[in-house]
Amino acid sequence: MKINRVRYLKGPNYFSYKPSIWIELDIEELEYQPSDKIPSFTEKLLKIMPTLKKHTCSTGYEGGFVERLYEGTWMGHILEHMAIELQVLAGIQVNRGKTITGSKPGIYYIAYDYKEPKSAYYAFEAAMEIVMSLLTDRKLSTIQPAVDKIAQLYYENKLGPSTEAIYEAALRLKIPAERVGTDSLVRLGIGSRQKFVQATISSQTSILAVENSCCKQATKTILESCGVPVPIGEKVSTLEEIFEAAEELGFPLVLKPSNGRQGEGVITNIKNKEELFNVAHCLDQHVESFIIERHYEGNDYRLTIVDGKMVAASLRVPPFVIGNGEDSIRSLIEEENKNPLRGNDHEKPMSKIPLNHTVTCYLEKLDLTLNSIPDKGQVIQVVGNANLSTGGKALDVTDQVHPTIKNIAITAAKAIGLDIAGIDLICKDISKPYHRDSVAVIEVNAAPGIRMHHYPSEGKKRDVGKAIVEYLFKSREEAAIPVVAITGTNGKTTTTRLVNFFLSEDNVTVGMTNSDGVYINSLPIDQGDCSGPISARKILSNPAVDYAVLETARGGILREGLAFDYCDIGIVTNVAEDHLGTDGIDTFEQLVKLKRLIPEVVHENGYCVLNADDAEVAKMAGYTKGIVIYTSQNEHNIYLRQALQSGKSAWYADQNGWIVFAAGGIRQRFLPARDIPVTINGSAKHNISNLLQALAAAHSLGIPFERLKEKAMAFLPDTTLSKGRFNVREMNGRRIVVDYAHNASGMEAIYDTLLSFNKNRLFTVVAGPGDRKDEEIVNMAKMAAQQSDILIIKEDDDLRGRDPYEVPSIMHQAAIDTGNMRNDSVIIIRDELKAFQFAWEKSQPGDLLLFLYTDFNYVTQFFERFSSDKKLGSRKI
C-alpha cells in the first residue's frame, strides 16, 4: 500500500461540513483481497482494536462495521475506520469518514474528520502499520504506542485550552473563527468586523491594563486607591529587605515574585522566621524583586470577569499527596501525575504537579524534600498556591458567590481596566456578605485561564468561552460581513463581476475573487486563477473589506474545502459535465453534489439564488436553509411558476423581453434585457442568466431597485469590467470576439450568441484542456467544427499530464469526423499567439474571429502587435 496524495480540507467540503483529511491511497495487490479473503484478518484486527466493534458504518447500528468486515470490504475502507478510532482512543473527538472507490483499480479516496492535522495524518500512517503487521504476522501486542504518539502530536499542536474554548464557542454561535499561524491566535469574525483573541486576551484588551496587572505592586496600589481590599505588604529585592519587612508586617506571610505568572514561585502561609529563612535561601536567583505581604486565612477563589460581569467562580485547592509510609514525596507526585485527568501544561482538565524549584522551595519551608517519606495517611501540600498550572484542582462555586463579593471582583477588574480578568481573592466563605477583614484581593490576572471553569474537578461546567464571544459580538451579523459565493460550471466569473459592480459604492469596500485575480475595490492584489479558498481567505481576512464576492470553483473545494462555514448569498449558475474523472468526481451526479455545497452552507437568514432553467440546479432548493430565489429566462418555467404562485421572490425575463422582479405576488418591470449592455442586444442568453442572478443577489443585500438600473446600464462587457468574457473588437473590417469558454456547454452559449452577428466566415481558435476526458475534448471539437468555417486548434502551455500534440490531434480528428469541414479547414498551430496571428492573416473584411483563449496575455500581445489602437475594448453591436 502507498499514499499518493494528502489534502487537508479546512472548511466545508464534499465529504463533510467539518475539517477533513483527504487521502488518495493505492492498496496495490490488496485490491484483490477484501477482508473476507484474508485468513484470520478480521479476528486479528478486532483482537488488537476491540473498540472497532462499536462502529456502525453505513448500517446505522453498532456492529455494522464488523458485519462489513466479515462480508468482505476493502482496505481503504478499513483504514478509514481505524484512523478514526485511533484518534478517539487518543482522546480526540471525531466520528465521521467516507471512502470512495477511484476510477482506477486499487485507488481509493478516503476522507475523515480531524481536529488537528498532524495527529490525524499520523493516525492513518499508524493504521497502515498495524494492518501490515497483521498481514505479515509481525508480533504486535498493543496499539498503545501509536495511540500515545497521536495524543502527543495532538496536544503539542492544537490550540491552548482557553483559546480552544473560545474558538469552539464561536463555531457553535456561527461566528466565523480561524486559527492564525500555529500558536494560539484566533481571528473571530471576517473582513471589517474581525477581532482577535489569544488565550483570553482580546483585541479590545487594553495593553496598559495588561501591563498594570502584570506588575503586582502596581495592581495593589491601584486597587488600594479605590477601596478594594488588598493584603498589606511591600516590594523587596534583597534578603535584608525581606527580613526587615517581615519584622514590620508580622507572621504569617506570603512571598511571591513581583512579576510572576501562573503561581510560579509563590510561597504562602510562612508561619515564622525559621520557615522564612528556609524559603528565602531557596528563592529563584533570576527573580529581581518580590512582594512580601500578610497571609490571609481562608479559601483561594478565582472569579472570572467578562465585560463587567462575573461569569464563573472556582474554589481552588492546592495540590497535595497522601503518604503511605513507604514512598517518597517525589514518587507520590509521580504516581498522582499518572492520573488520566492530568496532562502536561494545559492539555487536560488538570495539569501535572511540577517537580521543580517551586515544589522544592515550598517543601523546604516545611523542612521536607522530594525524598522525604510521609507517614501513612499524612496529607502533604506540595505547592504553596492553588493555580491549575501548578497542579491544583478547581471546584465550581459560581452559584454561591455573594453579590457583595461579586461586586468587589468586578470593581477590581474595572480599576485595572481589563475587559477579561481573573480575580484571585482569599475569603473564608464566599457565600457570606463582604467584610473588609475577611476578604483580600491577592491578584488581578490578564489572560485568565478558563480551563478550570470548563472542566471543574467538581461542580457545574461554565461556558466562559461563550461569554467571551458574546462580549465581542452580540450576534453573527456583528461578526460577519456579507459573503456572496458563486459556483457552477459556466458563467461564474461574469456573475461574480456583476455582483461586485452592483455592490460597489464610494463608502464601502468590496473584495472579489475570480478566475482572473483577487481585487479590493477593483484594485488587483493578486493575479491568475484565484477562484479557490486561499484567495478567498485574502478577502475574508482583509480588515478593510465590507462585502466579499467569491467565485468558488470545483477545484478549490476539492483541494481545500470552502474558506467559509456559511455564506449570506449562494449562487449556482448551472451544472454541466466538466472535469469529470479527477479527484474522485467521476460522475455527473457527484459533480452536482459538489456544486450543491454552496446552497447547503447558506445560513438560515441568507438567500440561495438558483437558475431554474437548469433542473439539477433548481432541485438544490431542497438542500438549503436559505430563502430560495429562482431566476429564469422563461416565465413559464415550472419552478419559477410554483415560486410565483406561492408569493416568493424571483427574477426572470418575460416573453416581451423585459427583466422582471416579483415578490409577494407583485411583479415589477426592471429594464428591457436588450437595452442592458452585457446582454449584447439581448442575444447573449448566457449573460442574461448571469445578470438575473447578480441582480437577485445585490437586491437581496439591500441595493435599491433604481440604483441597480443605473449599475446594470453602466456595466460594459469590456476588458475593464469583464476582461476575457465576450469582449468584442472591430478592427480593419473584421469583428473579433474574445472569450474564455473552455467546455462544450460554454462554447454552445457563445455560438448561440454569434448567430445574431453578421459575418462572412467564422474563424475559431480553440484548445482543449488536457485534464478533461477524451470524450469532453471530442465534444468541444465537434461543437467548434459544426459552427466554424475555419478551425485553428492550439495547445495550452500547461499540457496537464498529456503528451505534446496529443489533445490537438484528438480535436483535429474529431473535427474531420463530423463531415462538416474539409481537411484543409482544420489547422493545428500549437502556439496560442501564433494561432491568433494565423487566423488574423487568413481572414478578410467581413469575417468574424472567435478567440477562445487560455492565457489572456496572448490576447493582449496580439492586439498590441496588430492594432494601432492600443486599448482593447468592446463596442456595442
**Distance in angstroms (rounded) separating the CA atoms of residues 140 and 44:** 10
- CA 345, CA 155: separation in Å to the nearest integer? 10
Cα(488)–Cα(611) distance, rounded to whole angstroms? 10
Report the distance separating Cα 526 and Cα 802, nearest Å: 28
Residue whose cell numbers read 518580590:
290
Closest CA to 196 of 567, 483, 543: 543
580 burial class (0-12, 13-18, 19+ CB within 10 angstroms)?
middle
Start-to-end CA span in the chain (Å): 60
- Strand partners for 850: 737, 764
Cell numbers for 459: 461542580
Buried b (16+ CB within 10 A) or exposed e, 712-735: beebbbbbebbbbbbbbbeeeebb
pLDDT at 869: 45
Helix residue spans in 720-855 (DSSP H): 744-754, 774-787, 806-817, 832-842
Strand order in the sheet with 233-236: 233-236, 290-294, 253-257, 267-270
| Per-residue pLDDT, 263 | 58
* Contact assessment for residue 608 and residue 599, using Cβ atoms and an 8 Å cutoff: yes
- E strands, 521-596, are 523-527, 547-551, 567-572
Strands 107-113 and 97-101: antiparallel
Question: What is the predicted pLDDT for the residue at 870?
Answer: 41
Residue (of 55, 51, 77) closest to 64 by Cα position: 55
The Cβ-side half-sphere exposure at 57, using a 13 Å CA radius, reads 18
CA 479 → CA 67, 209, 671, distances in Å? 47, 25, 36
Let me know: does 316 contact 440? Beta carbons within 8 Å. Answer: no
Average pLDDT along the chain: 91
Q: Which H, E and C letters describe 629-653, residue by residue?
A: EEEECCCCCHHHHHHHHCCCCEEEE
* pLDDT in the model for residue 345: 67
Q: Which three cell numbers stand for residue 495?
A: 456573475
Q: Which residues, including other chains, have CB under 8 Å from residue 245's CB and lie 6 or more apart?
A: 233, 234, 236, 292
Helix or strand (DSSP H, E) at 8: strand 2-9
Is residue 580 within 8 A of residue 593, CB to CB? The reply is: no
Beta strand 393-396 pairing with 309-317:
antiparallel
Distance separating alpha carbons of residues 373 and 331, to the nearest angstrom: 9
Number of CB atoms found within 10 A of residue 192's CB: 15
Dist. CA 439–CA 436, nearest whole Å:
6
Query: Contact, 92 vs 116, CB < 8 A?
Result: yes
Q: Could you write out the DSSP letters of every residue in 100-113?
A: EE-SSTTEEEEEEE
How confident is the model at residue 262, as a pLDDT?
A: 58
Backbone angles phi, psi at 390, to 5 degrees: -110, 20
Domains of the chain: 2-157 (no CATH), 209-471 (3.30.470.20), 481-714 (3.40.1190.10), 727-866 (3.90.190.20)
Query: For residues 41 and 142, is the Cβ–Cβ distance under 8 A?
Result: no
Cα 242 to Cα 270: distance, rounded to the nearest angstrom: 12
Show the low-confidence residues of the chain (pLDDT under 50). Answer: 869-877
| The residue count for the chain | 877
Of 875, 522, 403, 544, the residue nearest 677 (C-alpha): 875
- Please give the backbone phi and psi of residue 301, each rounded to the nearest 5 degrees, phi first: -120, 150
Q: Following DSSP, what letter does each residue of 363-430 receive, concatenated? A: HHHTT--TT--PPTT-EEE-SSS--GGGT-EEEE-GGG--HHHHHHHHHHHHHHT-SEEEEEEEES-T
Buried b (16+ CB within 10 A) or exposed e, 125-136: bbbbebbeebee
d(CA 853, CA 863): 13
Smallest Cα–Cα separation from 495: which of 698, 637, 676? 698
Give the phi and the psi of residue 648 in degrees, each rounded to 5. -80, 165
DSSP-based three-state secondary structure for 325: coil
Residue 739 C-alpha cell reads as: 472569450
Residue 683, CA distances (Å) to 236, 570, 734, 757 in order: 86, 26, 19, 9
- Is 462 within 8 Å of 398 (Cβ atoms)? yes
> Please, are residues 121 and 6 in contact by the beta-carbon 8 Å criterion?
yes
All residues at 6 or more sequence positions from 310 whose CB lies less than 8 Å from its CB, including other chains: 303, 304, 398, 401, 406, 409, 410
Distances (CA, A) of 361 to 260, 320, 330, 368, 382: 15, 15, 14, 9, 9
pLDDT at residue 191, as a whole number: 97
Measured between alpha carbons, how far is 365 from 363 in angstroms, rounded to an integer?
5
Contact present, 70 and 106 (Cβ < 8 Å):
no
So what's the pLDDT on residue 876?
38
Q: CA angle at residue 311 from 305 to 317, to 5 degrees?
A: 85
pLDDT tens-digit map of 126-144: 999 999 999 998 888 899 9
